[in-house]
Amino acid sequence: MVGHDHDRQRLVRAAFRLEWLTIGWMAVEAAVAVVSGILARSITLIAFGLDGVIELASAGILIWRLSSELRFGREVAESAERIARRIAGGLLFALAAYVVVAAGRSMWRGEDTASSWPGLAVAVLAIPIMLVLARRKLALADQLGSRAMRADAAESLACLWLSLVVVVGLVADFAFGAWWIDPVTSLAIVWFLVKEGREAWEAEKLD
């Protein structure tokens, strides 16, 4: 039993390190993406940056959940997991609503977007970084039996998906200069955001 507890604490500490790495990268990603998106009037980049803010919140909540387990035990940690899923789900729904409204406004007004090399660079870098983080989080989630950790891994996978959408949209915009590419690619994100939000709330109902 002592050895089992020691192994679990080792896994929890590994999860701590992973979440702090997530916070460090997402702070950079969110800041660059949001500023670049505002300057370039890019809905996709702004949505990408706001998803980074959600990822920051998710990582922070998971650190709280892991701290709760170390200090008070797994039963208290389960309560933290439920709160984490509920917050993450609500934020994902809010982001999906923003993307739909902003994309519709852009399509209606025919707003053009400017080039954003910083935005493209951070999106390209995010692809391998989020892939590594998501895989490691999924492995730890299985070892810890943590649904909150798995939900946080889903956030990282969402960020990976958003990175791919951003890269495709920006490259297409650079290549063809079509103003409608940005709002259309941003709408491709909505399905994933709603899916992740629903899964978070459905998991909450099962508890």
- Give the pLDDT of residue 127: 94
Domain count, the chain: 1
Residue range 61-112, pLDDT digits in tens: 888 878 877 776 666 566 766 776 777 778 778 878 877 877 777 677 665 5
Q: The domain that contains 154 carries what CATH number? A: 1.20.1510
| Three-class SS of 45-110 | HHHHHHHHHHHHHHHHHHHHHHHHHHHHCHHHHHHHHHHHHHHHHHHHHHHHHHHHHHHHHHHHHC
- Structural domain that includes position 142: 2-206
User: Which pTM does this prediction carry?
Assistant: 0.78
Q: CA-to-CA distance for 189 and 169, rounded, in angstroms?
A: 11
pLDDT band at 22 (very low <50, low <70, confident <90, very high): very high
Residue range 27-50, pLDDT digits in tens: 999 999 999 988 887 777 887 888
